[in-house]
């Protein structure tokens, strides 16, 4: 049972992120309660509002929000302030403090890959938060030369002036790379502006994008030594884990989960499961999402009613909640999860640990989150047995009880309280396509 704090990573898109696997490994190995998920948002305002709704104890930040969020926090540590970018936020009540563990992450990855930057010539490509962190780290460790190359020279020059490096436009790479020891690419996913012919076999290459790296593939074909972006992800997560929990973790504790846990992309073909509190919109979103994707829609409550031959309310009245929960688990166990069905689960389905494991194994699990007052207003139709029960928990108590279970189970959180039905479906579809 998970009675710990909730953490997450925010970005757009974000379903591809492997950070949850790393933190799952850390929590498991340390025998610490805690959950870590992904927040799917369009802008930083939405991200901060959703983080507040969920009461996050902390969160990581990735593209495109690392620089923007630096100006929205109550305090920055020295590294984040110097770089002007944040990748880790720790909540202290209503106050949020920003840190940047990317420099530690990059240097940890380089060390693990056998590369020491001191006295070496380095080219960093990009002008976002990751690129700035890379320049900062390499300058701090005594690289002989750090050149920042970007499509827009003015952006590169502004960063170079602040972080004491050189700047150039991307076409300059043709002449610079033959004299370079290390190339660090921090360009957006699926973007590669480096011609393979420019890559000398003696060059060491690290692409921050671990999900898809045309540059990494080309570098391997040219005989270059390639350090995976996953190593950067791992080592920055080690530093974030300590900030979140106050306890250190090792690569041996966090890294194995990357291969043990199937990524959301690997589970997309099996099914998509929607979880969330009553009134969050699971049935409506599920029907619309299934229609959009051309998949079958399954409402778990309707499956239970068919199995029992009576309504959910009647099951509660005549047999009680424990009997309903047993039927719920039985109905979920019978679902084939083989053809990509979209399944809307009841609000309490995640209370059973076997249900949580089955969902995480067989589907991409999307938590539709809406503020409690929104859920209660939507659910006040007399058809919700748990709300109607006078001897049961209040809606607030139920919500608080289930929040950690939703976080533990979910691959992705989508705000369904502030968004229209169409916007929720579009957001989910966008994340699925980018995974």
Mean pLDDT, range 369-387, rounded to an integer: 79
Is the CB of residue 24 less than 8 Å from the CB of residue 396? no
Topology adopted by domain 104-227: Rossmann fold (3.40.50)
Burial of 171 (0-12, 13-18, 19+ CB in 10 A): exposed
**Average pLDDT rounded to a whole number, residues 129-134:** 98
3.40.50.300, 3.40.50.740, 3.30.1180.20, 3.90.180.10: CATH of 264-434: 3.40.50.300
Q: Which helix (H) or strand (E) holds 414?
A: strand 412-415
Question: 116 or 388, which is more confident?
Answer: 116
Q: Tell me the per-residue pLDDT of 217-227, one tens digit each, with 9 for 90 and over.
A: 999 999 999 99
Average pLDDT, the chain: 94
- CB-based contacts of 103, cutoff 8 Å, min separation 6: 79, 83, 133, 134, 136, 137, 140
Which residues, in sequence order, are CB contacts of 71 under 8 Å at separation 6+? none
Looking at 95-233, which runs of residues are DSSP E strands?
A: 95-99, 121-125, 145-150, 166-169, 182-185, 204-207, 225-227
Asked if 45 and 71 touch (Cβ cutoff 8 Å), the reply is no
Q: What is the pLDDT of residue 190?
A: 72
Question: What is the 8-class DSSP label of residue 346?
Answer: P
**For residue 174, what pLDDT is reported?**
96
Tens of pLDDT along 310-360? Answer: 999 999 999 999 999 999 999 999 999 888 999 999 999 999 999 999 999
**Residues 235-250: what's their mean pLDDT?**
97
Length of the chain: 435
Average pLDDT of span 111-133: 97
Helix (H, G, I), strand (E, B) or coil at 4: coil
Question: In the chain, what are the domain boundaries?
Answer: 5-100+238-259, 104-227, 264-434
Residue 15 contacts residue 435 (beta carbons within 8 Å): yes
CATH of domain 5-100+238-259: 3.40.50.10860
104-227 shares the fold of 5-100+238-259: yes
Give the strand pairing for 95-99 and 88-92: antiparallel
Active site members:
66
Worst-scoring range by mean pLDDT, 74-78, 102-106, 169-173, 385-389?
A: 385-389
pTM, 2 dp: 0.94
> Which regions of 349-391 does DSSP assign to beta strands (E)?
364-369
φ, ψ dihedrals at 67, nearest 5°: -85, -40
Cα–Cα distance measured from residue 97 to residue 76, given in angstroms and rounded to the nearest whole number: 6
């Amino acid at each position: 049972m998970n009675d710990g704090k909730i953490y997450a990573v925010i970005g757009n898109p974000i379903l591809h992120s492997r950070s949850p696997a790393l933190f799952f490994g850390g929590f498991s190995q340390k025998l610490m309660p805690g959950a870590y998920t992904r927040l799917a948002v369009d802008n930083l305002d939405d991200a901060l509002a959703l983080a507040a709704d969920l009461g996050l104890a902390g969160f990581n930040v990735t593209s495109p929000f690392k620089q923007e969020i630096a100006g929205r926090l109550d305090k920055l540590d020295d590294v984040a302030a110097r770089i002007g970018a944040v990748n880790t936020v720790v909540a202290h009540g209503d106050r949020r403090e920003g840190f940047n563990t990317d420099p530690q992450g990059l240097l940890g990855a380089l060390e693990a890959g056998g590369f020491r930057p001191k006295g070496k010539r380095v080219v960093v490509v990009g002008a976002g938060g990751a690129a700035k962190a890379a320049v900062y780290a390499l300058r701090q460790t005594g690289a002989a030369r750090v050149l920042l190359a970007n499509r827009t020279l003015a952006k590169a020059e502004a960063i170079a002036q602040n972080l004491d490096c050189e700047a150039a436009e991307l076409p300059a790479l043709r002449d610079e790379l033959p004299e370079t020891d290390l190339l660090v690419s921090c360009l957006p996913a699926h973007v590669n502006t480096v011609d393979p012919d420019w890559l000398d076999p003696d060059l060491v290459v690290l692409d921050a994008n671990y999900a898809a790296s045309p540059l990494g593939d080309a570098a391997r074909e040219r005989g270059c030594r390639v350090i995976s972006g996953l190593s950067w992800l791992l080592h920055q997560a080690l530093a974030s884990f300590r900030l979140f929990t106050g306890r250190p973790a090792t690569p041996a504790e966090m890294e194995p989960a990357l291969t043990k846990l199937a990524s959301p992309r690997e589970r997309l073909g099996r099914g998509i499961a929607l979880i969330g509190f009553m009134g969050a919109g699971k049935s409506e979103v599920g029907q619309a999402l299934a229609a959009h994707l051309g998949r079958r829609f399954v409402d778990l409550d309707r499956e239970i009613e068919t199995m029992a031959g009576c309504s959910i309310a009647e099951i509660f009245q005549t047999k009680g909640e424990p009997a309903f929960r047993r039927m719920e688990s039985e109905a979920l166990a019978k679902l084939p999860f083989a053809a990509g069905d979209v399944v809307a689960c009841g609000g309490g389905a995640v209370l059973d640990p076997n249900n949580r494991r089955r969902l995480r194994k067989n589907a991409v699990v999307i938590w539709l989150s809406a503020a409690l007052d929104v859920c209660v207003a939507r659910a006040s139709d007399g058809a919700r047995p748990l709300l109607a029960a006078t001897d049961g928990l209040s809606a607030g108590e139920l919500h608080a009880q289930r929040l950690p279970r939703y976080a533990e189970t979910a691959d992705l959180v989508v705000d369904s309280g502030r968004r229209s039905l169409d916007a929720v479906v579009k957001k989910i579809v966008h994340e699925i396509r980018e995974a």
